[in-house]
Amino acid sequence: MTYGTCYLAGFVLYFLMARRAARRLELKRRVWIVAGVCYVLGMTVGAKTLFDLRHGQFALRALLDQDHYRAGGLWGGLPAYFALAIPLVLLLTKRRRAGLDLLAVSIPVPWIIAKVGCLLNGCCHGRPCSLPWAVTFGEGARGAPPGVPLHPTQIYEAGIMLALLGVFALLRSDRWRGTKLLWFLLIYGLGRAATDFLRGDNPAPIAGPLTLTQVLCLSAAIVAFAVLAFIALATHDRPTAATLSELWL
């Protein structure tokens, strides 16, 4: 129940953050509303679909059953959100750089709330550890072994989002307009890939020591870094003819 409350609170917070960002970025109402709908769909239907596909138990009819969602098992909510939101936002507004920024800056706060729900629920738990900040779950936790000190990986991931909020605060100038999604993919991709080494609920690796989640996160981070590096180099070579915002989209 607590997990579901936090998850729903995250949806509400996303709409609030998107609305606030849209006003600051001078985007029309339809942009932040559509982005919010994509977030809700990505974190529910999208995440459930990807989880079922990943575990070889996909059934279209099951996606219409609310009990299927209550049973737990969500994975890939952010990729599903981006897959839905990016093309729609690019179609809905000519202010594409601003639209992409909105998609990135609206995520951290609701994601932190969702991770609090994971912590209270016991899902997304870490490996056993003896660190002073280890967390211990009771018998009612979902997935986490009871009575065993574990890495608080939910808090680690929330910390990544706090770091992103700090980075976004430093990227407020027009020089960085349109690059916040790239920074999100870079920082979150690297952070999540590192955090997953401490997760205790990961499936078997698919590439050396890397899980599917880590492969996707590192791939996104590498692409984002390459694009940011290209933009920076191009801007350095042509300081009077272009800015970052002119080069990106």
Model confidence at 1, in pLDDT bands (50, 70, 90)?
low
On average, the pLDDT of the chain sits at: 90
In DSSP notation, 106-163 reads TSHHHHHHHHHHHHHHT-S-B-B---TT-B-B-TT-SSSPBT--B--HHHHHHHHHHH
Q: How confident is the model at residue 95 (pLDDT cuts 50, 70, 90)?
A: very high
What pLDDT does 238 receive?
Answer: 56
How do residues 180-214 score in pLDDT, each as one tens digit? 999 999 999 999 999 999 999 888 899 999 999 99
Q: Which residues contact 172 (CB under 8 A, 6 or more apart)?
A: none
Residue 193: other Cβ atoms inside 10 A? 20
Give the mean pLDDT of 214-219: 97
Percent of the chain scoring above 90 in pLDDT: 73
Reading the block at residue 99, the tokens are 């639209």
Lowest mean pLDDT among 42-56, 85-99, 169-183, 230-244: 230-244
> What pTM was estimated for this model as a whole?
0.91
pLDDT in tens, 144-182: 999 999 999 999 999 999 999 999 999 988 778 899 999
Q: What is the pLDDT of residues 51-88, one digit of tens each?
A: 999 888 888 888 888 888 877 788 999 999 999 999 99
Q: In this prediction, what percent of the chain has a pLDDT beyond 70?
A: 94
Percent helix, strand and coil across the chain, each to the nearest 5: 70, 5, 30
Confidence of residue 240 (pLDDT cuts 50, 70, 90): very low
With vertex at residue 122, the alpha carbon angle to CA 119 and CA 128, rounded to the nearest 5 degrees, is 95
* Residue-level pLDDT at 224: 97
Average pLDDT of the residues in 90-109:
96
